[in-house]
A = this chain, B = another copy of it.
Amino acid sequence: MKNNTSIPKATVQRLPLYLQCLDQLDDNSVGISSKKIAEIAKVNDAQVRRDLSYLGTLGTRGVGYDISTLRKQLELELGLVDGLSAIIIGVGNLGSALAEYGGFKEKGFKIVGLFDSDPGKLNKQVGGLEIKPLTEINDTCKKYKVAIGIIATPENVAEEIAEKLISSGIKSILNFAPTMLKNKPGIQIRSVDLSQELQILSYYLDRAPLKVSK
């Protein structure tokens, strides 16, 4: 399929999942079928084929997908090829955890700055980086062409931090503070609210065995 039209949102959400599936293949196999991916990702196999077809004609009929080609294409489509830089604002427990989280580098992201408003934390090292004051956000963004800002501050300052990030040229924000940031045009915001995840689980508690509207 020729790729002019843009990829559906629902598909974009699953692409990282497929990438994860590939990483999880223990054996050194070379090819994989949509059925196998579907099994690991827990989705329908037609779904996998349709999703992957948005990336181009990647598979071989009767055979399957070449793992290395597929991985490359997924990374390309997701824009992971040239190691995006990110900074973390708020180096409390969560911020530290993120700073030391191995998964980011593994997936091609580079944390290039840690920032905190607490003077007591300045110059401390976390995950190999020194904690800097908020005033240096702008410089770091310029210097490293930072693509993504990760907010791990308390909720009450998240909004002003978001504005600071945007004024430093950042276009994408991953927000861990449990607050809804205001919409800014042209800025991508994703929020991960840990409590909300628990709340969703809570809804399905004990109802799981009953028929739930798919």
CB within 8 Å of B: which residues of A? 5-9, 12-13, 15-17, 19-21, 24, 40-42, 77-80, 84, 86, 92-94, 96-98, 100-101, 103-104, 106-107, 109, 147-148, 171-174, 178-180, 183, 186-188, 190, 192-214
Q: How far is the CB of A85 from chain B (nearest CB, A)?
A: 11
User: What's the nearest-Cβ distance from chain B to residue A18, in Å?
Assistant: 10
A-B interface, 8 closest residue pairs, ranked by CB to CB distance from nearest: A93-B97, A16-B196, A16-B199, A107-B195, A94-B97, A97-B97, A103-B195, A172-B201
**What's the Cα separation between A203 and B51 when bound, in Å?**
15
Partner of A213, one of B8, B148, B213: B8
Q: Whole-angstrom distance between the alpha carbons of A200 and B173 in the complex?
A: 11
Residue pair A200, B16 in contact (C-beta under 8 Å) = yes
Bound form: Cα–Cα A192–B199 in Å: 14
B180 touches A79 (CB 8 A): no
**With the chains together, A206 CA to B147 CA distance in Å?**
9
Contact B8 A195 (CB under 8 A): no
